[in-house]
Chain A
């Protein structure tokens, strides 16, 4: 359940957020959208893949956190279990909403991260945004700018035909099989064929660096499989000992 409210001091001066619980909304999310600015840090923790938005068919970059809808292997025993927390989680439970022509900060009043007595206050005694809320606002700004950056990047990759579909067939330790489909990655052969001018242009605009981040992140795939296997092993030993 969610209930969207726009944030205002009069109503929410006592509201607090427990930062350690903000990932709770992501517990069932196997793909977490990323913006280019965080590719570097995200690539050390998750495979970064390209998928299509089901509603629009447009390409988006996401951190892969599980192998099927509903599965997030980075939430373990209720805790966030990775060195990096994507901006889409850090912003929780806030987002930017439209109020007529202007942008306003909104939040989900049903969020588990909200509390009346524990956590960070959103407003200080001078009825100004607290440091915490200021950080959240920065993150929201980064995300808004990042969406535009992300679209630009996608356009360049599509125009140069640098994306290619890939699929995975994985067998986990317990014998279950999983097919991963509908994902796209950087086409390395195509990249090698680019002419010098194109490479220079991509380098100067920072795209080459981002592409390397995405490519390197593929090394996280074995780690993600191992993570799933560990989870299955834990579940198995738990059942056997019971």
Chain B
């Protein structure tokens, strides 16, 4: 019986190091005496893509599990805190059009569903402002915690913004020095199969043959193993999500102590949207667009127009993207994680969270033998096919409700480009609010609350006559709104500015407890 004793990860970007680290930690805990060897092979000649700069709150658990100090991570990766996303000019193309998708569930949810009440009453406040205190923190560039809050603990839920290049370097150091991952700098030239068709070894230009029992393809868009070697088909999603280009740049702050926004800002443009992410010393700003509706030159003009007077540190760099994912991800003894598995526009920071979810599942379910691997692979594929589909649906939802009239937006909100699953849910939500019953799979990626924030932020039209509106008494709802207003005031008065907290973390560090 063939046992699994050695894992080879191909690619040294965020996906490669996160997966290698996660596997190494799990194996050392499970089999301290004889842990599975983890080797990461990275080309010394291919730079990492490195534009993924936003994470989910799951990253806190991931880093903690890898044994990383949050203080070190923030210092080394220029990381900042992220409390959600602000979508500007998505519903309509006017200056004061925006809504928030914060990282905390609505006040009282799911015991009390304020959404039903909010919908049945004409409230002047936006949905997210009425039910969650994070919009105010974000609008005022306030941090989600205090310097005395222990590492990875929060006052308000948070994720991170980070410098992807520095993150990969930091993970490399941590994984090789502390987690026993072997780092091989070499270009993969050929892939050798065994008699059954499994990958037996990689032949490299600089380091000879690298053998393994499981190969993880983190080689980015080139998809060396899953596509070039195994030719696993690509499930093209570009008819649903039409964005196919990115222009990424770095922009300076006007002053060294300018406020750092504590959320991702996503602003609708004529043929796509611009991301704006605040790190400690610079912003990452980029335009993702559909080349069917705008020329590269015109896109660059729109991007420069958005940046305005601010100094551009790194001139816009073009990246071609192809929306979609592999039809399946784990084939024989090879599993694809990261961009090799697929890519979708970075609207809800789904790229890194998919890496974390994949790494977790591989680490936790890594079979002891080759024969059991086929079963795990099958489950992995079912799980991630579902997850990719749900992410595609959720991203699509952001466009569907737009009232913008440019051709790109009209095309993106065309009901005919919607999947059956999303169409069904939208029909249901005309009569009731998204609730946990709609999301019962243990493989769910976005919770019901996220759908509420997007739907009601975008002004989703419900059937008022027949909607299953509030069973909640007004007095009870009012109590919850007031509780939220109270928490908002407390948080605004007690929490420091985002910039101040980041500076203090660099000066003093946070305590682990």
Q: Does A55 contact B (CB under 8 A)?
A: yes
Binary flags per residue of B135-159, CB closer than 8 Å to A gives 1, else 0:
0000000000011110000000000
CB closest residue in chain B, given A58? B508
Partner of A54 from the list B148, B507, B510, B511 (CB cut-off 8 Å) is B148
Looking at the assembled complex, report how far the CB atom of B308 sits from the nearest CB atom of chain A, in whole angstroms. Answer: 36
In the complex the two chains form, is B512's CB within 8 Å of A52's CB?
no
In the complex the two chains form, is B513's CB within 8 Å of A57's CB?
no
Say which size band chain A's interface belongs to: 10 to 19
On whether A184 and B513 interact (CB within 8 A), knowing A56-B507, A57-B508, the answer reads: yes
Q: Does A165 contact B (CB under 8 A)?
A: yes
| Interchain CA distance A54-B147 in the complex, whole Å | 7
Which of B504, B507, B511 has the most C-beta atoms of chain A within 10 angstroms of its own C-beta? B511
| Interchain CA distance A226-B159 in the complex, whole Å | 46
Chain B: how many interface residues by the 8 Å CB criterion?
12
In the complex the two chains form, is A57's CB within 8 Å of B512's CB?
no
Binary flags per residue of B496-513, CB closer than 8 Å to A gives 1, else 0:
000000001001111111
Q: Does A163 contact B (CB under 8 A)?
A: yes
Looking at the assembled complex, report how far the CB atom of A147 sits from the nearest CB atom of chain B, in whole angstroms. Answer: 15
| Interchain CA distance A163-B149 in the complex, whole Å | 15
On whether A59 and B504 interact (CB within 8 A), knowing A52-B148, A182-B148, the answer reads: no
In the complex the two chains form, is B512's CB within 8 Å of A158's CB?
yes
In the complex the two chains form, is B508's CB within 8 Å of A164's CB?
no
Q: Which B residues from 469 to 513 make CB contacts under 8 A with A?
A: 504, 507-513
CB-CB < 8 A to A158: which residues of B?
511-512
| Interchain CA distance A56-B501 in the complex, whole Å | 10
CB closest residue in chain B, given A164? B513
Partner of A56 from the list B149, B504, B512, B513 (CB cut-off 8 Å) is B504
Looking at the assembled complex, report how far the CB atom of A150 sits from the nearest CB atom of chain B, in whole angstroms. Answer: 15
CB closest residue in chain B, given A55? B147
Looking at the assembled complex, report how far the CB atom of A236 sits from the nearest CB atom of chain B, in whole angstroms. Answer: 33
CB-CB < 8 A to A237: which residues of B?
none
Q: Which A residues from 156 to 175 make CB contacts under 8 A with B?
A: 158, 161, 163-165
In the complex the two chains form, is A163's CB within 8 Å of B508's CB?
no
Q: Does A53 contact B (CB under 8 A)?
A: yes
Partner of B504 from the list A57, A163, A165, A182 (CB cut-off 8 Å) is A57
| Interchain CA distance A163-B511 in the complex, whole Å | 11
CB-CB < 8 A to A161: which residues of B?
512
In the complex the two chains form, is B511's CB within 8 Å of A59's CB?
yes
CB closest residue in chain B, given A154? B511
Which of A52, A163, A182 has the most C-beta atoms of chain B within 10 angstroms of its own C-beta? A52
Q: Which A residues from 50 to 89 make CB contacts under 8 A with B?
A: 52-59
| Interchain CA distance A165-B510 in the complex, whole Å | 15
| Interchain CA distance A108-B314 in the complex, whole Å | 53
Partner of B148 from the list A57, A163, A164 (CB cut-off 8 Å) is A57
In the complex the two chains form, is A52's CB within 8 Å of B508's CB?
no
CB-CB < 8 A to A182: which residues of B?
148
In the complex the two chains form, is B511's CB within 8 Å of A52's CB?
yes
CB-CB < 8 A to B149: which residues of A?
57
CB closest residue in chain B, given A184? B513
| Interchain CA distance A53-B512 in the complex, whole Å | 14
| Interchain CA distance A158-B509 in the complex, whole Å | 13
| Interchain CA distance A165-B513 in the complex, whole Å | 7
Which of A54, A55, A57, A182 has the most C-beta atoms of chain B within 10 angstroms of its own C-beta? A57
Q: Which A residues from 24 to 65 make CB contacts under 8 A with B?
A: 52-59
Looking at the assembled complex, report how far the CB atom of B501 sits from the nearest CB atom of chain A, in whole angstroms. Answer: 10
CB-CB < 8 A to B513: which residues of A?
163-165, 184
CB-CB < 8 A to A164: which residues of B?
513
Given contacts A54-B146, A57-B147, 14 further A-B contacts (CB under 8 A): A53-B148, A54-B148, A55-B147, A55-B504, A56-B147, A56-B507, A56-B508, A57-B148, A57-B509, A58-B511, A59-B511, A161-B512, A164-B513, A182-B148
23 CB contacts below 8 A, A to B, read: A52-B511, A54-B147, A54-B148, A55-B147, A55-B504, A56-B504, A56-B507, A56-B508, A57-B146, A57-B147, A57-B148, A57-B149, A57-B508, A57-B510, A57-B511, A58-B508, A58-B511, A59-B511, A158-B512, A163-B513, A164-B513, A182-B148, A184-B513
Closest 8 CB pairs of A and B: A57-B147, A52-B148, A56-B508, A57-B148, A57-B508, A58-B508, A57-B510, A165-B513
